[in-house]
């Protein structure tokens, strides 16, 4: 799955969960099945929805990364 597909598939999330040992890629807390897949390089700026550009983050870390990423993306457009 590349480019135009925004959300990680269940298969991708299962693979990442196993690869990360069920832990958040940022804070290493235990993940739950509802925690989001995150684009390492923002989807909004061309990041693909492929395993090499995805990581699982807990809700708290995902919210923080998203806030920072969008601030940086906005600044780069100005």
The arithmetic mean of pLDDT across residues 44-65, rounded, is: 95
Q: Among the CATH numbers 1.20.140.10, 3.40.1800.10, 3.90.105.10, 3.40.50.720, which is that of 10-77?
A: 3.40.1800.10
Confidence class of residue 5 from pLDDT cuts 50, 70 and 90? confident
Nearby residues of 40 by Cβ (< 8 Å), 6 or more positions away: 47, 53, 54, 55
pLDDT reported for residue 14: 95
Confidence class of residue 49 from pLDDT cuts 50, 70 and 90? very high
pLDDT reported for residue 75: 77
pLDDT reported for residue 74: 79
pLDDT reported for residue 39: 96
């Amino acid at each position: 799955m590349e480019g135009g597909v925004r959300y990680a598939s269940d298969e991708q999330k299962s693979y990442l969960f196993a690869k990360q040992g069920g832990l958040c890629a940022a804070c290493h807390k235990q993940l739950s099945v509802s925690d989001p897949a995150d684009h390492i390089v923002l989807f909004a700026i061309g990041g693909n929805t492929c395993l090499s550009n995805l990581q699982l983050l807990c809700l708290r870390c995902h919210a923080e990364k998203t806030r920072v990423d969008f601030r940086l993306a906005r600044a780069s457009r100005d």
